[in-house]
Structure 1
């Protein structure tokens, strides 16, 4: 299963997810301590016999590649993540077809978005489009397939760069990932570059049928805000790796803070939601070994969007008023990230307990 094919031509990496896991950076060589904030610990320790940070630390010390089921669990998590993130944005296709397309990408099989309208596979795409109030025609089918395939390629690129190559998050990495995610999907929206025009988001409160529009951050402010976000993210990681600091690294807070600020900035003309969830979960995966999965279950979308909406109000109050490291607009989402990662944490605890 090849989730890291987008690599420099000068590097040669063995094919397949098993090889990818074998090359996972040695966590016991890292100079930081996983330490969750107390309110996050209390959420999970109700269901686990150990502090989540202790479970993660033990797994890091022992490594992951010696567990035979890690590859299968990781591949399935990637598929669930792509399906769920697409579902939040009403893009992509059914779980069944998502599995087929993602597994083809993971095995390095070239996937053609074009499909004959008289093939049985074409008919399999129609129900998902119709149920989500999209056009069940050839254009809709092709677009939905591209939305899955490019999502899988963007995830593969990020895993390769951020985890296998241990590259820091940079603005260029973000731009390149957006290029993978949106390639050949919408000719009207620029890809791989920040927007230079104003955008608004539509929303509605529970029970309201008519949607409202909220103006997003001004385009001229986007470059400065993105530079500031990346700088603070890497500073937080560097401080955690500085043993003298002793503060430790909270992967839930780290990932949630990046996600929340990114979605408030909305740097691109389209696909900001899928972009921020991609980077958030790859960061989370890098420091925990598993993903936080949401969007694939009924009710997830509404709960997620409500949390983002409540966080937006706090962000607007704190922006330019509260020091970046002390801002709290992401904290509710950090709790959500932790809650939605319980399955991965349980699987890790089970592996470490059974040996």
Structure 2
């Protein structure tokens, strides 16, 4: 399966940025039906990516509301996070918040819209720099993406676009289940060094892959999702940021994204993988050489399995284009 996926990825495009650029342009020209179809498929995947990632964190709102807001962002349109109680969608906002055990009022309806819009904008920002402009990864790109994601969120401790300066602990649990013991994350004073080294390792891995012409996008994406989420550099938004990193790497080197968290079973499976991976991270940290770390392996297999549908879509679009 690994070799097949790599073959399909390489055949789809040596440079997925070319596909994205072409289908974006094609989506604005009625004369290019295949390009429109391809862009619509990619846009749908990006929307579902944002929705699923938000659902994992119990933020955002319904899929329908997410579609409307994300489409506006991805198409470069003006979008407002504000909503009035006379808006036709206002009731749907409140119903979702109520079902999610969040305060069902206008303030939280607006907050839920912000969580969607700014997530899409942060994703769009990283895609522009890494995929379309083909820039190297940098801490500045990651910090700016977090600033976009978290600006305006009502949280005095979390500074948008800045590494945390205080200790945090995380726990994974499902609503209604017995409280799980929280585990303390990496010390705040260690975060800058770990982030600096993570970015250096990432750019080194990419440079080596370019040099030798061999790259496994699923291992690459899983490895740096795993590293980032366990460094846990920000006070909040680490899960969403880790999935932005994962999916931008997939988009750049495999030509598609992986939609995670669209339903409760998916969320439970992903969280289980993340929990087990975190235990491995803390066991291997400072004991195992970076290239020999194994905490990302289960996630790599998971996203490869989930990617089959999107690989088939991209393959179908490209082969149809070749026949046309």
Same fold (TM over 0.5): yes
Q: 2:144 is paired with a residue of what secondary structure?
A: helix
1:261 aligns with 2:227: yes
Q: Name the counterpart of 2:120.
A: 152
Distance 2:72 2:259 in 1: 21
* Aligned partners of 1:204 and 1:212 also within 8 Å: no
1:121 aligns with 2:82: no
* Aligned partners of 1:154 and 1:177 also within 8 Å: yes
**Among 61, 75, 83, which residue is 1:107 paired with?**
75
Aligned-residue Cα RMSD (Å) equals 1.9
* Aligned partners of 2:256 and 2:311 also within 8 Å: yes
Distance 2:250 2:75 in 1: 24
**Among 171, 181, 194, which residue is 1:212 paired with?**
181
Q: 1:242 is paired with a residue of what secondary structure?
A: helix
1:193 aligns with 2:162: yes
Using the TM superposition, give the Cα deviation of residue 185 of structure 1 relative to its aligned residue in structure 2, in angstroms. Answer: 1.6
Q: Name the counterpart of 2:7.
A: 54
1:135 aligns with 2:103: yes
* Aligned partners of 2:66 and 2:116 also within 8 Å: yes
Using the TM superposition, give the Cα deviation of residue 207 of structure 1 relative to its aligned residue in structure 2, in angstroms. Answer: 9.4
Q: 2:182 is paired with a residue of what secondary structure?
A: strand
Residues 206 and 97 (structure 1), Cα distance of their counterparts in 2 relative to 1, 3 Å cut: closer
Distance 2:41 2:75 in 1: 16
Q: Name the counterpart of 2:237.
A: 271
What is the TM-score with the length of structure 2 in the denominator? 0.89
Using the TM superposition, give the Cα deviation of residue 57 of structure 1 relative to its aligned residue in structure 2, in angstroms. Answer: 1.3
Q: Name the counterpart of 1:227.
A: 196
Distance 1:240 1:346 in 2: 24
* Aligned partners of 1:55 and 1:349 also within 8 Å: yes
Distance 2:99 2:46 in 1: 24
Distance 2:250 2:288 in 1: 25
Using the TM superposition, give the Cα deviation of residue 350 of structure 1 relative to its aligned residue in structure 2, in angstroms. Answer: 2.0
**Among 244, 247, 250, which residue is 1:284 paired with?**
250
* Aligned partners of 1:175 and 1:193 also within 8 Å: yes
Q: 2:276 is paired with a residue of what secondary structure?
A: helix
**Among 93, 117, 133, which residue is 2:61 paired with?**
93
Residue deviations 1:33-64 (CA, integer Å, cap 9, x gap): xxxxxxx527xxxxxxxx12111211215963
Distance 1:148 1:222 in 2: 27
Structure 1: gaps (5+ residues): 1-39, 43-50
Q: Name the counterpart of 2:131.
A: 163
Residues 227 and 61 (structure 1), Cα distance of their counterparts in 2 relative to 1, 3 Å cut: closer
Residue deviations 1:220-267 (CA, integer Å, cap 9, x gap): 111111111111111111111113xx6x11100001000001111100
Aligned length: 305
Residues 105 and 353 (structure 1), Cα distance of their counterparts in 2 relative to 1, 3 Å cut: closer
What is the TM-score with the length of structure 1 in the denominator? 0.82
**Among 161, 173, 176, which residue is 2:144 paired with?**
176
Q: Name the counterpart of 1:75.
A: 43
Using the TM superposition, give the Cα deviation of residue 297 of structure 1 relative to its aligned residue in structure 2, in angstroms. Answer: 2.5
**Among 279, 288, 293, which residue is 1:322 paired with?**
288
Residues 205 and 136 (structure 1), Cα distance of their counterparts in 2 relative to 1, 3 Å cut: closer
Residues 118 and 213 (structure 1), Cα distance of their counterparts in 2 relative to 1, 3 Å cut: same
Higher helix share: 2
Residue deviations 1:133-190 (CA, integer Å, cap 9, x gap): 1111111101000000101111111111001111111111100000111111224121
Alignment map for 1:332-347 (pairs within 5 Å): 332-347=298-313
Distance 2:204 2:197 in 1: 10
